[in-house]
C-alpha cells in the first residue's frame, strides 16, 4: 500500500461538474494574477492582508456587474516550490481490510516530498490566459522502494465575444501514481465549496492513472439584471495497471441568475451528465444523470472590514444506470448545497459548506452512493508574519446493495497549519493532518483496501515563491 501526495480532505475526490480545473496538487502557493499596484512607492512597509473577496469579488450584487473596462494588461511568470518532511503514525491499515486479505500490522514511518509549479499569466479582468505545470515526488523510505512521481498541466483562458458575451476555455492533463478514497478520480460529484485537496494522510494503495478534461463556457449578460452561463466539459480517467475503474463523462451545465436587489441574486441551475465506467467485472456501465436546483445568493458588507456571502440551493437529481447484472435502474434524490464565506476582520475569514450528491467510488467499488459532505475552515494572520489555518470535514456515504441492506462509509478529516513568512519569497510551514474512515461491509471492498483506517501525520518544511518575469508585487502565499 502506498499513499497520496495531494493535500487535504475530500477535496479532489469529487470532481467539479462545472468546467473548472482543480488546483495543482500540493501547491499551496497561489498562481493567480496580482492586483495592479497603482499607489505611489513609499518608504513604509505596508501590512499585508489576507482578506478574501466575497463570492462575486465585491461587497454587493450591484457592484458585481461586469465592467466593460478590463484595465491594464498584466503579465507574469512565477515558480513556486515546497519541500516537506514528516512522520505518519499509520502507513498501513491495521484495523481490517477488504476481502481476501488479513489485517495488517500498523506501521509508522517517515516521509518526504518535493513539488514545484511553473505558472504563466497574461491578461486583465476581461481577457486572460493562464498556464500552470506542476511536478512532484513523494517518498516513504520504510514503505516505498522508490519515490512516486506525479504531474499535471492546467490551461485556462477568457475573452469577450461582443459587448455582452464572454467565452471561457479550460483544460487539464494529470498523472497520479497513488490512489486515495478522496483522490481526483475517486468520485464524479462536484466539490463542496471551501474544501481543498485531500490530506497526505489519506493515501491507501498504489494505482497509477492518467486523467484529462476539456471544457468550454459562455457567459451572457441580458440587460442590467439577468445573466446566463452555458458550459460543456469532457472528462476521462484511465488506470494504467488494468481497465478496472476507467471512465469517460460528458457534462452539460446551464445556469440563470437575476439580480433581485443590491444584495440578493436568485436563479436556477441545470446539469446533464452522460458517461460510462468499467467495473471490477470488466463491464462498461453507462450512466445518465439530470439535476435541477433553485439557487439564492446573498452578499453584503456590514462594515468596512466585514463582509459575507451565502449561497443556498435545493433541488432534485435523477439517475439512470446499468447494474452489474445488466438491469437498468432509476432513482430520484433530493439534493442541495450551501456555502458561507464570512470575513470577520481584514485578516480573518471563515468558510463553510454542505452538499448532498450521488457519487461513485471509482476504482474501489461498483456502487453508486448518496453522499452528504460538510466542511468548515478558518484562517487568518496571528501577526504580520504568522498565519494559522484550521479545517475539518465530515462525509457520509450510503448505498443500497439489496432490499433493506445498505453499505455505509463515514469519513472524518481535520487539519491544522502554521506558516511563518521569513521573507516575501520564503515561508516556514508546519502541518498536522488527521484522517479516519469506516466502511460497514469489508466483503464489498477489493483486497488491500482497508475497511477501517485511522491515520495521523505531521509535515514541516519550506514554501518558496520566485517571480521570474513581469509583476513582482506578489509574495509567498499565507494559505
Give the pLDDT confidence of 456-465 residue by residue, as tens digits.
889 999 999 9
Q: Which helix (H) or strand (E) holds 462?
A: strand 452-470
- Torsion over CA: 29, 33, 38, 41 (sign): positive
Question: With 50 as the cut, is the pLDDT of residue 30 above it?
Answer: no
Residue given cell 440587460 in the structure block: 223
- pLDDT tens column, 158-185: 999 988 999 999 999 998 876 555 543 3
C-alpha cell at 170: 479550460
Reported as a pLDDT band with limits 50, 70 and 90, residue 362 is low
Cα–Cα distance, 358 to 322 (Å, whole number): 15
Distances (CA, A) of 440 to 346, 397, 411, 444: 45, 10, 12, 9
Mean pLDDT for 68-78 is 85
Domain ranges of the chain: 73-470
pLDDT at 294 over 90: yes
The rounded mean pLDDT for the chain is 77
C-alpha distance from residue 114 to each of 117, 412, 415, 459 (Å): 11, 26, 20, 12
- pTM assigned to the model: 0.74
Q: Which CATH class is domain 73-470?
A: mainly beta
Please compute the mean of the pLDDT values over residues 61-82 and round it to a whole number.
Answer: 75
Closest Cα to residue 114, out of 96, 135, 98?
135
The mean per-residue pLDDT over the stretch 384-403 comes to 89
Q: What is residue 208's predicted lDDT score, i.e. its pLDDT? A: 79
pLDDT > 90 fraction of the chain, expressed in percent and rounded: 41
Q: Which SS3 state, helix, strand or coil, does residue 62 take?
A: helix
Taking only the tens place, the pLDDT of each residue in 199-249 is 454 454 566 788 899 999 999 999 999 999 999 999 998 888 765 778 899
At residue 225, the pLDDT reads 95
- Residues of the chain with pLDDT > 70, as a percent, come to 71
Distance CA 220, CA 226 (A): 9
Looking at residue 212, what is its pLDDT?
Answer: 93
Predicted local confidence at residue 100, as pLDDT: 41
Cα 220 from chain centre: 26
Strands 306-322 and 328-343, sheet pairing: antiparallel
The pLDDT score that the predictor gives to residue 10 is: 35
Distance set, CA 433 to CA 106, 208, 255, 416 (Å): 18, 24, 36, 7
Residue 154: pLDDT over 60: yes
Q: Could you give the CA distance from residue 407 to residue 475 in angstroms, rounded to a whole number?
A: 47
Confidence band for 91, pLDDT divided at 50, 70 and 90: low
Question: Residue 152 pLDDT > 60, yes or no?
Answer: yes
Mean pLDDT along residues 132-144: 84
Report the first-to-last Cα separation within the chain, whole angstroms.
30
H or E element in which residue 293 lies: strand 284-303
Distance, CA of 20 to CA of 253 (rounded, Å) = 12
Amino acid at each position: 500500500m502506498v499513499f497520496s501526495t495531494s493535500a487535504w480532505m475530500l477535496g479532489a475526490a469529487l470532481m467539479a461538474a462545472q468546467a473548472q480545473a482543480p488546483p495543482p496538487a500540493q501547491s499551496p502557493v497561489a498562481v493567480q494574477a496580482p492586483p495592479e499596484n497603482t499607489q505611489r512607492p513609499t518608504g513604509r512597509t505596508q501590512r499585508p492582508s489576507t482578506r478574501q473577496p466575497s463570492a462575486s469579488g465585491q461587497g454587493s450584487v450591484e457592484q458585481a456587474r461586469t465592467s466593460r473596462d478590463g484595465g491594464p494588461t498584466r503579465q507574469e511568470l512565477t515558480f513556486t516550490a515546497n519541500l516537506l518532511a514528516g512522520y505518519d503514525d499509520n502507513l498501513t491499515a491495521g484495523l481490517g481490510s477488504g476481502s481476501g486479505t488479513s489485517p495488517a500490522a500498523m506501521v509508522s514511518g517517515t516521509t518526504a516530498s518535493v513539488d514545484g509549479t511553473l505558472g504563466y499569466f497574461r491578461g486583465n479582468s476581461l481577457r486572460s490566459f493562464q498556464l500552470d505545470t506542476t511536478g512532484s515526488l513523494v517518498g516513504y523510505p520504510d514503505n516505498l522502494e522508490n519515490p512516486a512521481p506525479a504531474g499535471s498541466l492546467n490551461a485556462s483562458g477568457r475573452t469577450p465575444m461582443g459587448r455582452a458575451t464572454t467565452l471561457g476555455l479550460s483544460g487539464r492533463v494529470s498523472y497520479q501514481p497513488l490512489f486515495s478514497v478522496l483522490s481526483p478520480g475517486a468520485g464524479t460529484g462536484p466539490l463542496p465549496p471551501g474544501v481543498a485537496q485531500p490530506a497526505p494522510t489519506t493515501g491507501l494503495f498504489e494505482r497509477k492513472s492518467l486523467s484529462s478534461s476539456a471544457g468550454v463556457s459562455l457567459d451572457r449578460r441580458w440587460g442590467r439584471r439577468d445573466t446566463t452561463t452555458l458550459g460543456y466539459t469532457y472528462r476521462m480517467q484511465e488506470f494504467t495497471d488494468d481497465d478496472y475503474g476507467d471512465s469517460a463523462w460528458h457534462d452539460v451545465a446551464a445556469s440563470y441568475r437575476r439580480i433581485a436587489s443590491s444584495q440578493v441574486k436568485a436563479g436556477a441551475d441545470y446539469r446533464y451528465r452522460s458517461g460510462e465506467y468499467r467495473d471490477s467485472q470488466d463491464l462498461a456501465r453507462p450512466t445518465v444523470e439530470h439535476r435541477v436546483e433553485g439557487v439564492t445568493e446573498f452578499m453584503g458588507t456590514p462594515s468596512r472590514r466585514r463582509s459575507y456571502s451565502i449561497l443556498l440551493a435545493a433541488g432534485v437529481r435523477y439517475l439512470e444506470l446499468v447494474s452489474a447484472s445488466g438491469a437498468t435502474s432509476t432513482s430520484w434524490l433530493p439534493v442541495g448545497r450551501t456555502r458561507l464565506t464570512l470575513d470577520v476582520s481584514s485578516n480573518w475569514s471563515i468558510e463553510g459548506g454542505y452538499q448532498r450528491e450521488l457519487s461513485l467510488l471509482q476504482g474501489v467499488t461498483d456502487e453508486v452512493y448518496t453522499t452528504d459532505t460538510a466542511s468548515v475552515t478558518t484562517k487568518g494572520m496571528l501577526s504580520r508574519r504568522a498565519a494559522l489555518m484550521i479545517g475539518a470535514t465530515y462525509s457520509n456515504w450510503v448505498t443500497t446493495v439489496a432490499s433493506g441492506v445498505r453499505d455505509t462509509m463515514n469519513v472524518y478529516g481535520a487539519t491544522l497549519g502554521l506558516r511563518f513568512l521569513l521573507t516575501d519569497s520564503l515561508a516556514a510551514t508546519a502541518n498536522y493532518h488527521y484522517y479516519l474512515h469506516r466502511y460497514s461491509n469489508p466483503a464489498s471492498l477489493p483486497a488491500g483496501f482497508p475497511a477501517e483506517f485511522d491515520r495521523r501525520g505531521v509535515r514541516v518544511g519550506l514554501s518558496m515563491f520566485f517571480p521570474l518575469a513581469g509583476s513582482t508585487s506578489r509574495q509567498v502565499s499565507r494559505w
